Every structure is written in C-alpha cells, then in structure tokens.
Amino acid sequence: MSRQRPVTVVVLAAGEGTRMRSATPKVLHELGGRSMLGHVVAATRGL
C-alpha cells in the first residue's frame, strides 16, 4: 500500500492586469472557460 504525503502548494498570483487594459485582475481572466488561477489550482490537484 502506498502512503500519500501531504503537499503544500504556494501559488504566486499577483498583478492587476494593467498591461491588459482590464479592471479585472489577470489571474481571474478566463482562458478556455476557466480562470487562469483555476487552471493552476486544477493542475495542483494531481500532486
């Protein structure tokens, strides 16, 4: 039986999106139906 070790993930999600000329923070912009932050969170679930 394999033992799973707890994993801690730190997501560096900063930025206001000013170069994108948007009032929405860039990590909340959607890409493929999910926010960019959502993509990062989904990728960490498999760790």
Residue 5 lies in a domain: no
The total number of structural domains that make up the chain: 1
Residue-wise pLDDT tens digits, 8-26: 999 988 877 788 888 888 8
| Whether 21 is catalytic | no
Q: In sequence order, what are the beta bridge partners of 35?
A: 30
Q: In sequence order, what are the beta bridge partners of 30?
A: 35
Residue 29 lies in a domain: yes
| pTM for the model | 0.69
CA separation for the pair 13, 9 (Å, rounded): 12
Q: To which H or E segment does residue 43 belong?
A: helix 36-44
CA separation for the pair 22, 3 (Å, rounded): 45
Q: Which of 3, 5, 19, 45 is the catalytic position?
A: 19
Residue-wise pLDDT tens digits, 27-46: 898 999 999 999 999 999 88
CB hemisphere CA count around 42 (13 angstroms): 7
Residue 23 lies in a domain: yes
Range of the domain at 41: 17-47
